[in-house]
Chain A
Amino acid sequence: MREVELAIIGGGPAGICAAIEAVKCNVQVTLIEENSRLGGQFYRRLADGFAIVNQRQLDKYYVQGTKLIAELEQYRRKIELMENALVWGIFPDKEVVLLRDGKTEILKAQRLILAEGAYDRPVPFPGWTLPGVLTAGAALRMVKTEKVLPGERILLAGSGPLQLLLAAHLVRAGAKVVAMLEASPLNNSWKHLPHLLGQWELLKDGLDYLWELRKAKVPLLRSHAIVEAKGEEQVYQAIYAKVDSDWQIVPGTEKNVEVDTIITGYGLIPSGRLSRLCGCRQKWDPYLGGWIPERGEYMETALPGIFTAGDCNGIEGAAVAAEEGRLAAIKICQELGHITPEEASRRCSPIFKKLRGLRRFESALNNIFAIRRGLLAQIPDEVIICRCEEVTAGEIRRVIAEGMTNINEIKALTRTGMGPCQGRMCAPIIAEMVSIKTNRPVGEVGFSTPRPPIKPIPLVGVARYKSSWERKVE
């Protein structure tokens, strides 16, 4: 075990910006990233050894990411960068346990920033486990970084701006997008317009993508959702239908379309595994994507020395994530005595101002596109909800009917969430199912308790770890 001044977990926009701010103040930074390259999901890099012939064809956000990573590279000698490093546990006294090259390493951090990011919201429907059904995040990654198309005839189904971005990428890459289904009616969106004004760049991006789709003649169907994926070993047909304002399927409006790929993009869920493992208090916010840690204005949790930044605190996008990372880092610099409180507040005030504008925009988007109940109320009984343990909606509904309304009780009885994904996929769905059935807010249903290792690792990785508590006992 060794001590570090500041450990940042997650090398996406929040983590990178936090590292830059902290290293500027001479804090000793350790930046830990699970993947082989920095950037996170949003700024994911082109695969190693790949080159884009015409640099001007690079996506604007890709260029942003490149700039940000280049800024960090300037400080490369002063930052300890750990790539391919999987944090699988955080123990008391901010002991971060990670696996790198098959070996466990332990860092004891004076300050900790958790920038875990987010993942695609899984939305079950008959056939959603078939090969050929994938998430918007997976598709975007394949198209952007490894330059592989996930299919030839593609149906997009979901809600929100991310699938717009994906549709544009797919069209540019030459895929046939048969339609893009947007579950929201969008007819009330004008009410949110005042909140969108001022963020011209973000607004313009959205319009540009819409224009691109119109040029490519991709039908954009509002108030429509995917109903079923048909196939034996993979998808060959999709059934979609009109949905009402609660996203309930309108019977009799079903249509068939031949496709080989269905991509669902129903927004993102904050990844809160590490903050929950640390014991940070969580709150439920449906507009921000689900369970998020409670924080103060400097991104500090109630636990001393632990900060959280970025989308793991609610889905607000890369720009907000970056500013949150900066705030947390500046506060830490001050706490550790590298800058004076006056200097810290001087640096923070423009960030606060910027965040207010960005947040207004993001919350308007979240209001328009937040997932509605109807979509999850109608899942047929035979549909698998827990992908790891193969537990169906019917089995889960049976135990709910028997009175089990806590997510961990349901886990114990049905094995949902006991598989290797530890409920990342199924727990948010089950929580909604309980809430629908019992008429209680999801916030009362709870979340599945994470346990280390939070991701599957070889047993030898655990065997080599001893907590400080065990060492004291010896």
Chain B
Amino acid sequence: MINGRIKKGVNRGKSFEIEVDGDKVLVYKGETIAAALLAAGKRTCRWTKIKKQPRGIYCGMGICMGCAMVVNGRPNTLVCQTMATPNCKVQTQIGLENRGTSK
């Protein structure tokens, strides 16, 4: 799965890296974590607690909880509403209501 950034006609600012489940992911300034993940082709943000199903970005506006991840140790962070910052640590989350055990 190769999603990607739209190249035509866009100038982006500085780039940096964040860590997602231990892997380095490229980010441009101004992108949310969700955009960086989509661009890198990583779509599963969390696994549900009961049925162990994958969830990803659905509503894209901070309502549906599909994109809840553990960011810098903080669970239930909605990555579609969270700007990526240099070296931030993002982890796939398991469950919702608990402390967000990361994978």
Establish whether residues B65 and A138, one from each chain, have CB atoms under 8 Å apart when the complex forms: no
Most buried by B among A51, A52, A141, A384: A141
Say whether A129 contacts B59, CB under 8 Å.
Answer: no
Tier of interface size on chain B: 35 or more
- Contact between chains at B10 and A148 (CB < 8 Å): no
Contact B30 A48 (CB under 8 A): yes
Q: Of the candidates A34, A57, A148, A233, which one forms a contact with B3 in the assembled complex, judged by CB atoms under 8 Å apart?
A: A148
The answer to whether residues A142 and B35 also contact, given A260-B1, A390-B51, A419-B65 and a CB cut-off of 8 A, is: yes
Query: In the complex, what distance in Å separates the CA atom of A35 from the CA atom of B14?
Result: 22
**The one of B8, B11, B29, B58 that contacts A48, using a Cβ cutoff of 8 Å:** B29
**A419: B residues at CB distance < 8 A:** 65, 96-97
How many Å from the CB of B42 to the closest CB on chain A?
Answer: 9
Which one of A281-289, A400-408, A420-428 contacts B?
A420-428
**Do B4 and A149 have beta carbons less than 8 Å apart?**
yes
Minimum distance in angstroms from B21 CB to a CB of chain A: 14
In the complex, whether B64 has a CB less than 8 A from a CB of chain A is yes
Contact B65 A151, beta carbon cutoff 8 Å: no
Complex CA–CA separation, A456 to B65 (angstroms): 10
Which residues of B1-57 have CB atoms within 8 Å of chain A's CB atoms? Answer: 1-6, 8-14, 28-32, 34-35, 38-39, 43-45, 48-51, 53-57
| Closest-CB distance, A93 to chain B (whole angstroms) | 28
Q: Is B70 close to A, CB under 8 A?
A: no
Contact A57 B9 (CB under 8 A): yes
Contact assessment for B43 and A50 in the assembled complex, using a CB-CB cutoff below 8 Å: no
CB pair B3–A138 under 8 Å, yes or no, is no
Interface string of A94-126 (1 = CB under 8 A from B): 000000000000000000000000011010000
Closest Cβ of chain B to A65, distance in Å, is 16
In the complex, the answer to whether A148 meets B65 with C-beta atoms within 8 Å is no
Distance of A260 Cα from B4 Cα, bound (Å) = 13
The smallest C-beta distance from A49 to any residue of chain B, in angstroms, reads: 3
The answer to whether A54 touches B9 (Cβ under 8 A) is: yes
Interface flags, A28-62, vs B, CB<8A=1, else 0: 00000011100001000001111111100100000
Complex interface: chain B residues within 8 A of A138 (CB): 57-61, 80
| A148 & B35 in contact (Cβ 8 Å cutoff) | yes
Q: Mark B52-79, 1 if CB is under 8 A from A, else 0.
A: 0111111111111110100000001000
A417 CB within 8 Å of chain B: no
A455 CA to B64 CA in the complex, in Å? 11
Of all chain B residues, the one with the shortest Cβ separation from A139 is B60
Q: Which of A130, A146, A420 contacts B76 (CB 8 A)?
A: A420
Docked CA distance A234–B41 (Å): 11
Q: Could you list some 25 contacts between A and B, CB below 8 A?
A: A47-B31, A49-B13, A49-B28, A51-B10, A52-B9, A52-B10, A53-B10, A122-B59, A130-B54, A131-B56, A134-B57, A134-B60, A135-B60, A137-B60, A138-B59, A141-B60, A142-B35, A143-B6, A147-B6, A149-B6, A152-B4, A174-B8, A233-B54, A387-B65, A425-B64
